Amino acid sequence: MLLGSMHLFAQDTLTLSLPAAREYALKYNRTLIASGLTLRQAQSQMWESVSKGLPQFSVTGSYQNYLGATADFQGMLLKFGQAGSMDAQVNQMVFNAGYWVGLKLAKLNEEMAKTNRRKTEQDVIQQVTSSYYAILVGQKLGTLLQQSKQNLQDVLIKTQAMVQAGAATQTDADQIEVQLASTEDMIKSNERQVELGYNMLRIQMGVPASTVLLLKDSLAEFLNDRQSYALLLQKFVVNTNPSFLLSQKQVEIAHQQVKQTQASWLPTVSVFYDYTYKYIKPKFDLTPKNYVGFQASWPLFTSGGTLSRVHQAKLQMQINQTNLASLVDQLQVQDQQARFNLRNAMDNLQTQTKSLDVAHRVFNDIVRKHDHGMASSLDVTNASSNLIQVETNYVNAMYNVLVDQLQIEMLLNKF
């Protein structure tokens, strides 16, 4: 059912769980598609490198017309006519040290493209998950704000009745009405934020902008203390992190580039066979039809140019090694910071949950007092403002827990 619904772009509505949204993005995200093409390009380059060491076959055709030219050869007048030939040559490399190093470099480039695609997949999953969480949190805030709006509407109706009965002034009703209008503005602003989250999710999933997305999961499914503590207990292994693997490949490539530059000091040897078929033979022809040959080249002196290139390649390798060591330190610090942030976010969520309960009870108590004339409309509006602020802090605390969990999952290579 999931694969069937994912493939139909023409559908106006997609109902997705978080795993389904991730799977959809892995299939249709345009950045991932480009990454896949880059991998195929690296694989093609690998074969190109291999083919350079295999037999090379070429065919050349030619035609000459000497336009009646003549030559005097020992008293004999030789007249040049026409000539035409087809020349076929097979060339095989025998020794080239740089070729084998080039093969290793091509293989490393292919592996690096695979690792980069893997990292891109993780980045896409992180983006989709973050947008999914943001939408759910926005919808949760919208629900809380709607409830606050309904409470204020009830208070406003009662206050207007009290104004008509002479038990309250019009100013009391106006204050509550202004607070109600402010709450409605916050609801509209939140709805726009939720729609922005949907638009981001559409882009990340690679669906048309007109597609309606419906999220199946709820926040409660992701806010699990047991899951959070399990993440905190897992050990961070740096050599499985895609960023580390990419940097490590760069060090290996730099090492092979040093070898490739050093290999340019060695000779290059090849053999070849040549056959010529003359479909228009000249009158005077001493050229044999076929022959074999041997060719060698050896750059004996380059005025220090090769030595300079070797030195540059070694320096680049040292730079890449330094960057790798720095990245390891950064990843370890990121892991420690992410765990610290998650613990703080979990503690803050517990505090905000209690604060939300207290704020609800305070608001309800103020409303009851207002109904009996023991609290003013200003007390109601202040309690409402405080409740809305606490609700906002509460949903932000939930989002922080989810985002910090996601950060640790990325570092632990969970995707």
141-198 pLDDT, tens digit each: 999 999 999 998 998 898 888 888 887 788 888 998 999 999 999 999 999 999 999 9
Q: Is 205 exposed, middle or buried (0-12, 13-18, 19+ CB in 10 A)?
A: buried
Query: 74: left (phi > 0), else alpha (psi -120 to 50), else beta?
Result: left
Task: Tell me if 324 is assigned to some domain.
Answer: yes
pLDDT at 407: 92
Assign 56 to helix, strand or coil. Answer: strand
The CATH number of residue 23's host domain is 1.20.1600.10
**Per-residue DSSP letter, 232:** H
Q: Are residues 285 and 278 in contact, defined by beta-carbon separation less than 8 angstroms?
A: yes
pLDDT, one tens digit per residue, over 326-375 is 999 999 999 999 999 999 999 999 999 999 999 999 999 998 988 887 88
Q: Could you tell me the residue range of the domain that residue 316 belongs to?
A: 12-57+95-267+304-411
Pairing of strands 212-215, 290-297: unpaired
pLDDT at 371: 82
Pairing of strands 268-280, 290-297: antiparallel
Q: Please determine, for residue 1, whether its predicted confidence score (pLDDT) is greater than 50.
A: no
Is residue 272 in some structural domain? no
CB-side exposure of 214: number of CA atoms within 13 Å? 7
pLDDT in tens, 259-284: 888 887 788 888 888 888 887 777 66
In a domain, 29, yes or no: yes
Q: Are 320 and 383 in contact (CB under 8 A)?
A: no
Kindly state whether residue 198 falls inside one of the protein's structural domains: yes
Q: What is the pLDDT of residue 107?
A: 87
Distance (Å) of CA 159 to CA 165, 179, 187: 10, 13, 23
User: What letter would DSSP give residue 284?
Assistant: S
Provide the pLDDT for residue 9.
Answer: 44
Would residue 293 count as lying in a domain? no
pTM: 0.80
Q: Distance of alpha carbon 257 from its chain centroid, rounded?
A: 27
Rounded Cα–Cα distance for residues 143 and 2 (Å): 29
- Res 283: pLDDT: 67
In a domain, 229, yes or no: yes
Q: Taking Cα atoms as reference points, which of 28, 30, 26, 22 lies closest to residue 8?
A: 28
Q: What is the pLDDT of residues 97-108, one digit of tens each?
A: 777 888 888 888
CB distance 91 to 56 below 8 Å: yes
Q: Is residue 395 part of a domain?
A: yes
Q: Is the pLDDT of residue 231 over 90?
A: no
316 burial (CB, 10 Å; 0-12 / 13-18 / 19+) is middle
What percentage of the chain exceeds 70 in pLDDT? 96
Number of domains in the chain: 1
Give CA–CA dist 353/223, Å, rounded.
13
**CB-based contact 111:251 (threshold 8 Å):** no
| Structural domain includes residue 84 | no
Residue closest to 263 by CA, chosen among 73, 95, 55, 25: 95
Average pLDDT rounded to a whole number, residues 55-73: 80
